[in-house]
Structure 1
Amino acid sequence: MENGGAIFKRATTQWVFMDMLRAGTERVITYDVKVPEADVLKAIRLPQRFCIQGTVQAKVPEVEAPVGGESCVMVNDCLPVLEAIAHLVPAEAPGQTDKVDLRLPETITEQQLQRAAELWAMDQPVVDTCGETIDQATLKLITAHAVSCTPIDRPLPEMPKANVTVTRTILAPIPCQGVVLGFYDSAGNPIGNTFTVKVEVTTDADVIAVGIDEDLPIGWKVTPLDNGGFVYKPSKIQWTYLGLLQAGETRTIVYEVEVPPTLPVEPPPPDGCGIYHAEHIAGVADTGLPCIEDIPIGGDNRVELTKCLNVIVAISRWDVERDTVDLSLSDLITLPQVQRAVAFWLEEEEVPYTCGAKIDFETLKEIIALWLTNTPICEALPSVAPGECQGR
Structure 2
Amino acid sequence: TTQWVFLDTIKAGTDRVITYDLTVPRSELLASVRLPQQFCISGIFQAKVPDIVVEVGGESCVVVNDCLSVLEAVAHMIPAKAPGEEDRIDLRLSESITIDQLIRAGELWRTERAVVGTCGERVDLETLKLITAYAEACVPIDRPLPDMPAANVYAHRTILAPIPCEGVVIGFYDPSGQPLGNKFTVKVEITSDADVMGVGLDEDLPVGWRVTPLQNDGFIYKANGNQWALLDTLRAGDMRTIIYEVEVPPTTTVEAPPPEGCKVLSSEQIVGRVDTGQPCVEVEVGGQNRVDLTDCLSVIVAISRWDVARDAIDLSLSDKITFRQVQRAIAFWLQDEPVPRTCGDGKVTYELMKEIIARWLTGTPICEPLPGAAPETCEGR
User: TM-score higher than 0.5 here?
Assistant: yes
Taking the TM superposition and a 5 Å limit, the aligned residue runs for 1:342-353 are 342-353=330-341
User: CA separation in 2, counterparts of 1:52 and 1:157?
Assistant: 31
1:146 and 2:143 correspond = no
Post-superposition shift, 1:272? 4.9
Local SS of the residue matching 2:74: helix
Post-superposition shift, 1:351? 0.6
Name the residue aligned to 1:208.
197
RMSD: 1.0
How many residues in Structure 1 have an aligned counterpart in Structure 2?
Answer: 372
Post-superposition shift, 1:234? 0.6
User: CA separation in 2, counterparts of 1:373 and 1:58?
Assistant: 103
Name the residue aligned to 2:153.
164
User: CA separation in 1, counterparts of 2:20 and 2:156?
Assistant: 57
User: CA separation in 2, counterparts of 1:326 and 1:242?
Assistant: 43
Deviations 1:243-302 (A, max 9, x none): 111111000000000000110001111115121000010011111111112x01111000
Percent identity of equivalent pairs: 65
User: CA separation in 2, counterparts of 1:359 and 1:272?
Assistant: 17
Name the residue aligned to 2:226.
237
Name the residue aligned to 2:300.
312
Identify the match of residue 49 of structure 1 among 5, 23, 38: 38
1:300 and 2:288 correspond = yes
**TM-score with structure 1 length normalisation?**
0.93
Post-superposition shift, 1:206? 1.0
1:187 and 2:176 correspond = yes
Taking the TM superposition and a 5 Å limit, the aligned residue runs for 1:2-151 are 12-151=1-140
Greater shift in the superposed pair: 13-22 or 303-312: 13-22
User: CA separation in 2, counterparts of 1:273 and 1:349?
Assistant: 22
User: CA separation in 2, counterparts of 1:277 and 1:59?
Assistant: 88
User: CA separation in 1, counterparts of 2:214 and 2:149?
Assistant: 33
Name the residue aligned to 2:378.
none
Post-superposition shift, 1:61? 2.4
Deviations 1:304-327 (A, max 9, x none): 000010100000000111110001
1:269 and 2:258 correspond = yes
1:358 and 2:347 correspond = yes
User: CA separation in 2, counterparts of 1:46 and 1:314?
Assistant: 68
Name the residue aligned to 2:311.
323
User: CA separation in 1, counterparts of 2:58 and 2:308?
Assistant: 88
1:375 and 2:364 correspond = yes
Amino acid at match of 2:178: N
User: CA separation in 2, counterparts of 1:165 and 1:85?
Assistant: 30
User: CA separation in 2, counterparts of 1:17 and 1:321?
Assistant: 105
User: CA separation in 1, counterparts of 2:316 and 2:173?
Assistant: 11
User: CA separation in 2, counterparts of 1:347 and 1:251?
Assistant: 54
Greater shift in the superposed pair: 255-264 or 240-249: 240-249
User: CA separation in 2, counterparts of 1:142 and 1:250?
Assistant: 22
Amino acid at match of 1:311: V
Post-superposition shift, 1:62? 2.5
Name the residue aligned to 2:377.
none
Post-superposition shift, 1:58? 1.8
**TM-score with structure 2 length normalisation?**
0.96
- Is there any run of 5+ residues in structure 2 with no aligned partner, and where? 374-381
- Is there any run of 5+ residues in structure 1 with no aligned partner, and where? 1-11, 385-392
Post-superposition shift, 1:342? 0.7
Post-superposition shift, 1:17? 1.0
Post-superposition shift, 1:65? 2.0
Name the residue aligned to 2:376.
none
